Structure 1
Amino acid sequence: MSLLPVHRSHGSLLPDFTDLWNAFTPVGTLTPMFNFHTIRLEDALDDGHYTVRAEIPGIDPAEDLEVTVADGHLTIRAERSVQKEENGRSEFGYGSFVRTVALPPGAVEDGVDAEYAKGILTVTVPMTEAKPTAKKIEVKAGE
């Protein structure tokens, strides 16, 4: 079950907006003015855990990665420094990357675990049994 607002399966006919932008923008023209840094995510809810995996290759997790949980939201921040070579071009994304995901009802913010391996950040959030949050509201008749 995906809880992310948008989930695109591999091989989708509609590419991400970032992919479209990069395809039609010549390298070095408008890219600095409209720089779209996104962190691609996938999520799953199973076995009493909510798991978010983020694709963030080429960073040092001890220095360039921050994961926070507050007020029902998981925020992932990363920074990739520019390593320019004078003779060539680069299509790598550099700079700051931020992505925030709303946690599902029943998420236990105190037990969050994060691990970074082979360019993938895996954040695991323990879940409790979510109780129904719908509450009937009495409607009073006005004059």
Structure 2
Amino acid sequence: MNSLVKRDRSTFADLVDWLESEFPTIPSVRQFAGLQMMRVEDFQDGNEYVVRAELPGIDPDKDIDIQLLDGVLTIKAERREENKDANRSEFRYGSFSRSLTLPSGADENNVRATYKDGILEIRVPLKEEQHPEPRRINVAKD
């Protein structure tokens, strides 16, 4: 699936994605480096632009913030997880942020977001692009 948009990403995030795709048998580069990154996929589904983000262990009511400004969709999330038993405790925490530029024709007033089974899905309707006819401009003589 090819992405429809230009992503606002760091070169390091691209490198991590490449390493994981080229060397799937090695342990996750993210786990090895202790990185907290949000994996995102985007594609067109009919007349909608769809963004899916992997966010397991997140409470969508408290820990996800989605903003849209000037055609840029920004997803922010924070994970706070702590497990305790009689002999030990373990915790994971971190914040994530990804920004994507919406494709032309995006209807920014009708964006919908859902969260199910650790996947955040954002759907943005796409308006049919208008292709106006060329207009002739007359040149005035002095």
Superposition misfits of 4+ residues, deviation over 6 angstroms: none
Aligned to 2:100: 101
Aligned equivalent of 2:117: 118
Larger % of helix: which?
Answer: 2
**Which amino acid counterpart does residue 105 of structure 2 have in structure 1?**
G
Count of aligned residue pairs for this structure pair: 115
Aligned 1:38-117 pairs, distance under 5 A: 38-85=37-84, 87=88, 94-117=93-116
Tell me, yes or no, if structure 1 residue 12 matches structure 2 residue 21.
yes
Q: 1:79 to 1:115 in 2, by over 3 A?
A: same
Cα distance change on mapping 1:40 and 1:21 into 2, 3 Å: closer
Identity of aligned residues (%): 40
Determine helix, strand or coil for the equivalent of 1:98. Answer: strand
Q: 1:63 to 1:21 in 2, by over 3 A?
A: closer
Structure 1: distance between partners of 2:30 and 2:65 = 27
Which residue identity does 1:105 align to in structure 2? S
Asked if the contact 1:82–1:95 (Cα under 8 Å) also holds between the matched residues in 2, the reply is: no
CA-based RMSD of the aligned residues comes to: 2.7
Give, in whole Å, the separation in 2 of the partners of 1:88 and 1:81.
14
Partners of 2:97 and 2:116 in 1: how far apart?
19
> Which has the greater radius of gyration?
2
Secondary structure of the 2:88 match is coil
Q: Distance in 1 between matches of 2:96 and 2:47?
A: 29
Residue 46 of structure 1, CA deviation: 2.7
**Residues 70 and 119 of structure 1: is their aligned pair in 2 closer, same or farther, counting only changes over 3 Å?**
same
Partner of 1:3: 4
Unmatched 5+ residue regions in structure 1? 26-30, 133-143
* Partner AA of 1:87 in structure 2: R
